[in-house]
Each structure stands twice: as C-alpha cells, then as structure tokens.
Amino acid sequence: MGNDILHRSDTRGHADHGWLNSYHTFSFAGYHDPARMNFGALRVLNDDTVAPGRGFGKHRHENMEIISIPLEGDLEHKDSMGNSSVIREGDIQVMSAGTGVFHSEFNKNPDKPVKFLQIWVLPNQKDVTPRYDQISIREMDTDNQFAQILSPDRNDQGVWIHQNAWFSMGNFDASRQATYELHHDENGLYIFVLEGGVLVNDQELSTRDGLGLWNRNSISFAFNRPSRVLLMEVPPLN
C-alpha cells in the first residue's frame, strides 16, 4: 500500500512547447520528481492542450494501457493497427500497447485548440496483442452521480483495460453529496477535479487538484460548487 498524497494543481510539472502546453501530475519526459512517479498502477496523468492543426507525430508504445479523455475540441488518432478516428469531448479512447504499436494524435481543428487528458496505467499482463477502442460516454447519466467509464471487464460499462482498475466520472451541482465504494480493499483511489470544488475527507480540493487515498472501503464527497470529477481506482504495485 502507498501513502495518501495531495497534489495541488500548481505543483504539477509543466512543459510549454508552443504547440503543446502540458501539465504533468506524475514524472514524465523532462519533468522528473522521485516522489511523484506514480500512484499504484496509475503512471501518467497529463493535462494537455494542443494548438490548432498541431499534434504528436508517429511514435511507439509498448506494455502500457493508454487512455485519452478529450475535454474540449477534436483529436484525430491514427495507428499501426490501421485505426483512423476522431475522438471528441464526451468520448473515451483506450489503447493497449502490448507488444508494441505506433500511433499519432493531432488536433483535427485548424482554428481552435484541443484539450484532453492522457492517462497511462501499468498493465497486469505483458506482451498482449495490441488493441484499440473508443466509445461515447455522452449518454451516460453523470448528473450528481459517478458513472463508470472504464473497468477490467470487457462486458461491463465503459472501455476495458488489462488491469484491475475502474474509472468513473460525474458532474455535480453545488451542495450535492456522493459516495464511492471501492471494488477491492487493496485498491487506492486517485481523485482529479476537472473543475469546481469538493470536500473529501476534510480536504478541500479545487480545479485540477489531485488527491490519492489508500486503505478506504468507501469515500464521501461534498460539493461546494458545480463540479466535474474524475475518479481512478487502481491497485498498488506489487
């Protein structure tokens, strides 16, 4: 088990490449902090803004579960498996890199930025056959409750990955409350506030703050203003 951790938004790593403005919750590329390598199996949480018409050229990944959640705009995806698609706000995309895959991600729009979360989860199986999937989560009821958008079960709601992890998302009105029940006692929960403000275990969180908690069966939330929150339940690293 790990220790509880609080990551204020202004303590994240930051890289501004002009075409890409990226905030790193955990060590990534040129940002390295030995104290911020991961939260259990959650390895990367990047908050990216890509300039109009720009993007990430073809590059390789292996043995990683890569999840993209667009927050604004349209992101064009192409990969060596033959997939070519556009993911938009309200979608979630997953790619199991496994034995290795090349892909590129570009801002589809020539006149406005695209904002998205890039999340990496360490898999519980290595060298799996690479795969790609994306779904719309627009129709899920996420008003004043958490809706599951990712799990280990390919037959469950949302996308699935090779790890005992569950992601949920919710939009909450001010003065609402909610509770999240963990699926496994040994798992931890990383809470990322996309916007708004929430009180969790007497800890006040604001936009883009992150809080990681271990050794809880359930976690209660009290929202003090309209909020959007992403929950990432992940196992510890063995």
Q: Which domains does the chain have, with CATH numbers?
A: 13-136 (2.60.120.10), 147-234 (2.60.120.10)
Q: For residues 201 and 22, which has the higher predicted lDDT (pLDDT)?
A: 22
> Mean of the pLDDT values across residues 46-52?
96
Q: Which two tokens stand for residue 129?
A: 């056959």
How many other C-beta atoms can be found within 10 angstroms of the C-beta atom of residue 70? Answer: 20
DSSP 142: -
Looking at the predicted structure, is the pLDDT value of residue 176 above 70? yes
- Average pLDDT across the chain, whole number: 95
Q: How confident is the model at residue 1 (pLDDT cuts 50, 70, 90)?
A: low
How many other C-beta atoms can be found within 10 angstroms of the C-beta atom of residue 138? Answer: 10
Q: What is the pLDDT, as a whole number, of residue 231?
A: 98
Beta strand spans in the chain (E) = 5-7, 13-16, 20-24, 42-50, 55-61, 65-72, 74-79, 84-88, 91-96, 101-107, 114-121, 131-136, 147-151, 159-160, 166-172, 177-181, 188-200, 203-206, 210-213, 218-234
Q: How confident is the model at residue 141 (pLDDT cuts 50, 70, 90)?
A: confident
Q: What is the pLDDT, as a whole number, of residue 3?
A: 85
Contact 231, 190 (CB under 8 A): yes
Looking at the predicted structure, is the pLDDT value of residue 224 above 70? yes
